[in-house]
Amino acid sequence: MTSADSASTLFAWDAVVELTGPEGVRRLPIQDFYIKAGVVDLRPGELQTAIIIPKKAYEGYFGNYIKYAMREAMDIANLGCSVNVSLEENGTVIRDARIAYGVAGPIPMRAPSAEAAAKGQETTRQTVDAFARAVLEDIHPRDSWRAAKAFREHIAVEIAKRALTKSILLGGGVIRE
């Protein structure tokens, strides 16, 4: 399980990983770069030379990353969550939402069920709650010495609520009851 703080954020930004090696330059969507726990698509002689975030992935989006760890600084995340949101001009409808987790499965992952639950919905507490509950359809945390699976699932829902709420507010939206 990856606990890299940047991985979930890069997934939520639809990043592209650039790799340079003997055969030239390859660009992979970050989702294709991570293969399984501890394994990435890095060929012999290749180096990662860039991370590219396409303009369409960030223009008009506002985001927030939340790390849950036992200590504030210099600690490995028990769970990390990144949410990006794009709002309609009036700030009351979610045009698009992206959510990604670190330490919620063997590799960083998006939660497409949650994204679908929010897309096109009004910025209400009910939408935020439905978005957060839907992450449980997609994440696959495990038990470890740092946190139990059930605890990670509980935290995943809570930080999804907080990250979406903060992202909506950063985008100038208002969450109505």
pLDDT band for position 2 (cuts 50, 70, 90): low
In the chain, list all ranges with CATH 3.30.390.50: 58-170
C-alpha span between 48 and 94 (Å, rounded): 34
Residue 153 and residue 136 in contact, taking contact as beta carbons nearer than 8 Å: yes
Residue 81 and residue 156 in contact, taking contact as beta carbons nearer than 8 Å: yes
C-alpha span between 90 and 103 (Å, rounded): 35
Instruction: Give the tens place of pLDDT for each residue, 77-116.
Output: 667 899 999 999 899 999 999 999 986 567 788 999 999 9
Contacts of 172 (CB under 8 A, 6+ apart): 87, 91
In the chain, list all ranges with CATH 3.30.465.10: 14-56
Residue 18 and residue 87 in contact, taking contact as beta carbons nearer than 8 Å: no
The CATH homologous superfamily of the domain defined by 58-170: CO dehydrogenase flavoprotein, C-terminal domain (3.30.390.50)
Q: Which fold has domain 14-56?
A: 3.30.465
119 versus 40: the higher-pLDDT residue is: 119
Instruction: Give the tens place of pLDDT for each residue, 47-74.
Output: 999 999 999 999 999 999 998 766 655 5
Identify residue 112 by its one-letter amino acid code: P
Residue 45 pLDDT > 80: yes
What pTM was computed for the model? 0.89
C-alpha span between 38 and 80 (Å, rounded): 17
